[in-house]
Amino acid sequence: MKHAQKTFQRKITSASNIATFAAAFVATSAMIVTANASAADPVTVVSWGGSYGAAQDAALFNDASKNSGIEIIRESGASMSKTCLQVESGSVNWDLVVTGSGGSAAAAAKGCLEKIDYSVVDVSDFYPNLYTDYCVGSDVFATVMAWNTEKYGEPGSEGAPSSWADFFDVEKFPGTRAYRANNVDGALEPAIMADGVPPEQVYEVLSTREGKERAINKIREIKDHIAVFWESGAMQAQLMKDAEVDMSTGWNGRFDNAAKDGAKVGYTFNQALLDYDCFAIPKGAPNKEMAMKFLAEVSKPEYQANLPFHITYGPTNKKAYEITTASKELVESLPSHPKNVPLMSPVSLDWYAEHRDEALEMYMELLSE
């Protein structure tokens, strides 16, 4: 009797166990099914820190995510070398990554990026040359020459520096300089222009070893006057704010933000290097399709039109200029504004793809002297 009761109880318990299991199983599979059905995995969007990433959040990402219903996870520390590491080790967890144009070209050559699907992403209103097979331009910036306005005068005023030749002329403009550290991007072009090569022939001259040596020698001439080599945009701004140097190369938006913070800094677009940042999708990104849709959303002019309010980098979508509510003065200060573009020379991605490695080795040799 007792025995039977026990067995009975045991049966009940085991039955309830099975029931629980079954319920749990149904529940989980239901969850999996719903997950598949809506494909609502968030898209991991990776950008840079500081004022740049904050500007993109405010102008692009937050609104694009809200309007499209695509959930995103925001991360910082974007880097093409980390992207390639993820791809090569087969554990990709980034979906959309911000990069410089040169970095994207190098990463694409290494096979680290997905091809952009231009049937999803609409670039019909984009400036030409601001998108490639692997990268869609997000903003346009310029590598400019900036200086302490107390020392050399306001930009455009009588006697103020106006070309790269002035940057390299330490007799006409005595004082300290800052130049790029440990990276050759945008480092040789100013030197070769200062040495008398017209902007349209810069990359032709730099394609030979002699041309590169000529640029390096030009930098060597003023090396004793280069007080600091900068490593980042934040450092460019800091150096001008602290008046640690009198003249520096750097990215226009960073100098504008430094001026907003009270730094006595001005710059010119004359002979500047026109370049752009872009969005790339790592090869094998876990949420590739949604990333492509999100990329299509943020590339729309209505988001790009808000970017100038947060950082003075220009839109890549021409239409953004038509619909932006920013003041005329602000709009005309953007690097991609039609008034400014003719003053500058665009960076050649082809040259970087072919010559960057050799140029970097030569530049590092100069820096280590």
Binding residues vs other proteins (CB under 8 A): 79-81, 84-85, 106-107, 110, 112, 176, 181-184, 227-231, 242-244, 356-357, 360-362, 364-365, 367-369
Question: What's the Cα-to-Cα distance from 327 to each of 54, 198, 218, 267, 323, rounded to whole Å?
Answer: 21, 34, 40, 20, 12
Q: Are strands 265-280 and 136-148 parallel, antiparallel or unpaired?
A: antiparallel
Residue 293 C-beta: closest distance to other proteins, Å? 28
CB of 335: closest distance to other proteins in angstroms?
Answer: 23
> Cβ–Cβ contacts within 10 Å for residue 4, how many?
8
Choose among 253, 293, 275: nearest CA to 55: 253
CB 106 to other proteins: min, Å: 7
**Pick 6 or 223: Cβ nearer other proteins:** 223
Closest to other proteins by CB, 222 vs 227, is 227
Instruction: Report, in Å, the least distance between residue 227 CB and other proteins.
Output: 6
* Between 292 and 362, CB nearer to other proteins: 362
- CA-CA distance, 184 to 187, in Å (whole number)? 5
How far apart are the C-alpha atoms of 211 and 205, rounded to whole Å? 5
Length of the chain: 369
Task: Pick the closer one to other proteins by CB: 57 or 244.
Answer: 244
Closest CB to other proteins among residues 110, 293: 110
CB of 68 to other proteins, least distance (A): 32
Residues 6+ apart with CB under 8 A from 114: 134, 280, 281, 282, 283, 284, 285, 288
